[in-house]
Amino acid sequence: MNKTKIERKLRRKTNPDLVKTIINSKKSEAWVKISHIISRPRRKKISLNLDEISAQCKDGENVLIPGKVLGIGNIDKKVKIIALYYSENAKEKLKKSKIEALHIDEEMKKNPEAKNIKILVEKV
């Protein structure tokens, strides 16, 4: 997807935090794929439960969910989760498990080249 189509989709967004995230991710070539995914319509947004994330990742991975992390199940691996949104239940479980949970904006500042990141976009 090119940046012009992402720009067109951006006009319809009303959440200022989401708009800022899309603009920031569009600036870097490594993050353009993420900006395409998070600029999708709400009905196509991604939401994954903790047990689904645990099933798809390995210990020590940086896992990016371009959507919302939900709190059903538990995560038994030490991973770093990067997401757009977290449910309250998911935040509590991640804190108890001592798993690092970051917003996409924070990771873009720390890792502008998007190295060593696994993107989870669908359920298994």
pLDDT, tens digit, 9 for 90 and up, residues 52-87: 999 999 999 999 999 999 999 999 899 999 999 999
Domain count, the chain: 1
Q: Model-level pTM?
A: 0.87
Residue 70 lies inside a defined structural domain of this protein:
yes
Sequence-distant contacts of 12-20: CB under 8 A, at least 24 apart: 13/39, 18/84, 20/105
The parent domain of residue 55 ranges over: 3-119
Q: In this model, does residue 1 exceed pLDDT 70?
A: no
Q: In this model, does residue 89 exceed pLDDT 90?
A: yes
Using N-to-C axis directions, what is the helix angle for 16-27 and 3-10, rounded to 10°? 170
Residue 67 lies inside a defined structural domain of this protein:
yes
39, 9 contact by CB (below 8 A): yes
Residue 124 lies inside a defined structural domain of this protein:
no
CATH of residue 101's domain is 3.100.10.10
Residue 99 lies inside a defined structural domain of this protein:
yes
